[in-house]
């Protein structure tokens, strides 16, 4: 049976990107940009899983989690949290999540394939889907790359979804490759990319999809980004 997933995040582009990616994985996806909207939706539908941003404009994510659990006790919850949280916040949030029966924290930015793996574990009740933090190799842990990237200076096209006057559109852009490996690619782009944006490549890159895991403006005109392949 197709699983019903609610994605709650105040970033419209993240909502769109996650919804699109999860629908391609055969999930039925609904979205909410505020805590109030999320409560309205979960009061009307029975969701199997909720991907919940901990920082929302109108409500604390942990408080929202309590209210969601009260309205729909069977819903599984995975909290998406920013990697800029300090150690005390991580500990406090982890304790609160355990008390309210959230399944996992996943730090942003995350790898889409890792996210869907965690979702599958949580939805199927696998034993290794214990409550707590699920570290996915993000900025929570500074690690060297498992696969060194090779320098590369060619230009490649890529596609991304943007919100233009309230409408979702698909843009085709070009960036210069800085380095590349089997696991990811570094780009120099004149368009400022943001963490967690989903990037699509054409047949030159075997139609691969990637997620921006870090982004830094080098000067007024160029943005240096690291992309991990999904």
Residue 95, pLDDT above cutoff 60: no
Q: What is the mean pLDDT of residues 159-179?
A: 79
Q: Do 10 and 105 share a domain, yes or no?
A: yes
- Pull the structure tokens for residue 175: 């960036």
Q: How confident is the model at residue 49 (pLDDT cuts 50, 70, 90)?
A: very high
Per-residue CA distances from 24 to 18, 20, 42, 93, 218 (Å) = 10, 6, 23, 31, 34
Please, what is the angle between helix 61-71 and helix 35-44, to 10°?
Answer: 10
Pairing of strands 167-180, 150-151: antiparallel
- Pull the structure tokens for residue 4: 């019903």
CA distance 103 to 88: 20
3-state secondary structure of 161: strand
Burial of 137 (0-12, 13-18, 19+ CB in 10 A): middle
The number of folded domains in the chain is 2
For the entire predicted model, the pTM comes to: 0.57
Q: Which residues span the domain enclosing 178?
A: 150-229
52 backbone dihedrals φ, ψ, rounded to 5°: -120, 120
- Pull the structure tokens for residue 34: 């505020």
145 backbone dihedrals φ, ψ, rounded to 5°: -65, 140
Residue 160 sits in a domain of what CATH number? 2.40.10.220
Residue 88 sits in a domain of what CATH number? 3.40.50.2300
| Contact present, 196 and 211 (Cβ < 8 Å) | yes
Residue 219, pLDDT above cutoff 80: yes
Q: Do 34 and 125 share a domain, yes or no?
A: yes
For the segment 19-45, what is each residue's pLDDT rounded down to a tens digit?
Answer: 988 998 899 999 999 999 999 999 999
């Amino acid at each position: 049976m197709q699983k019903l997933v609610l994605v709650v995040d105040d970033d419209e582009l993240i909502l769109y990107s996650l919804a699109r990616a999860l629908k391609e994985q055969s999930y039925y996806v609904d979205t909410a940009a505020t805590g109030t909207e999320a409560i309205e939706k979960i009061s009307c539908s029975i969701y199997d899983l909720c991907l919940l941003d901990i920082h929302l404009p109108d409500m604390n994510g942990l408080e929202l989690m309590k209210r969601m659990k009260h309205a729909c006790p069977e819903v599984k919850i995975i909290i998406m949290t920013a990697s800029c949280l300090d150690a005390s916040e991580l500990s406090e949030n982890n304790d609160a999540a355990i008390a309210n029966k959230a399944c996992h924290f996943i730090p942003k930015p995350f790898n889409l394939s890792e996210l869907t793996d965690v979702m599958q574990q949580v939805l199927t009740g696998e034993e290794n889907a214990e409550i707590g933090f699920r570290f996915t190799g993000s900025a929570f842990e500074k690690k060297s790359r498992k696969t060194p990237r090779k320098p590369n200076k060619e230009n490649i096209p890529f596609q991304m979804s943007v919100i233009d006057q309230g409408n979702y559109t698909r843009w085709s852009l070009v960036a210069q490759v800085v380095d590349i490996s089997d696991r990811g690619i570094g780009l120099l782009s004149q368009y400022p990319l943001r963490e967690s944006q989903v990037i699509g490549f054409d047949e030159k890159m075997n139609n691969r999809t990637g997620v921006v895991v870090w982004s830094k403006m080098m000067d007024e005109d160029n943005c240096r980004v690291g992309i991990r392949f999904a």
